[in-house]
Amino acid sequence: METRVIPAASPEWLEEALAVLREGGVVAFPTDTVYGVGADPLREEAVAALFQAKGRPAEKAIPLLLSEASQMEAVAREVPAAAEILARRFWPGPLSLVLRAREEVPPLVRAGGDTVALRMPAHPVALRLIAAFGRPLAVTSANLSGHPSPATAEEVLAQLQGRIPLLVDGGRCPGGEPSTVLDLTVDPPRVLRPGPVTWDEVQSCLRG
């Protein structure tokens, strides 16, 4: 497989990316943190292709990226007040919220668990793609599992050339660091992965 690279400045990028996703393929694209590679979470073969492209272990769940905060209700069993407060403060942005997943979220995405990580990225390419697709996308960093997360299209190609059909080149990602992951299924909330949004900022937000 040859990886096609299309600039985000091209008027055709969105149509091409949507076509690949709707055919069950995977697409790499920029986000506000690092480049991600995404697939239709409701198609098992698409999620399987995502795992295969990255060499990702099946026991590692895939986060869902949203184009608006209201989409949390479609994939989370319940949206606690803390999630709404944090989303209003930090979304779009580099904070992933772990919530109880609805049964509609396929087991492969959840890695057999009952939770799902949700985030709304602050990047026009990512937001436009997710919004045009019409529902959340299963997205993880566009790197080989265990390797550095890529901040440029060139870094994506260095790892995933020939493993993915399409890469949308939107230049360097402004953040360059993976998102903070916060587990809201426990009380008090717990940071699963430190990142740009600090625990102090989370606490300050929740205290009001």
pLDDT at 136: 98
Cβ–Cβ under 8 Å, residues 5 and 14: no
pLDDT at 176: 86
Cβ–Cβ under 8 Å, residues 61 and 122: no
pLDDT at 208: 81
pLDDT at 161: 98
pLDDT at 151: 97
> How far is it, in rounded angstroms, from Cα 102 to Cα 32?
27
| pLDDT tens for the 208 residues of the chain, in order | 899 999 999 999 999 999 999 999 999 999 999 999 999 999 999 999 999 999 999 899 999 999 999 999 999 999 999 999 999 999 999 999 999 999 999 999 999 999 999 999 999 999 999 999 999 999 999 999 999 999 999 999 999 999 999 999 999 999 989 999 999 999 999 999 999 999 999 999 999 8
E-strand ranges in 71-154 read 95-100, 115-119, 137-141
Q: Phi, psi (5° rounding) for residue 191? A: -80, 120
Whole-prediction pTM = 0.96
Cβ–Cβ under 8 Å, residues 82 and 182: no
Distances 150 to 50, 81, 124 between C-alpha atoms, Å: 16, 33, 18
> How far is it, in rounded angstroms, from Cα 14 to Cα 68?
18
The CATH number of domain 4-207, selected from 3.20.20.70, 3.40.50.2000, 3.40.50.720, 3.90.870.10: 3.90.870.10
pLDDT at 24: 97
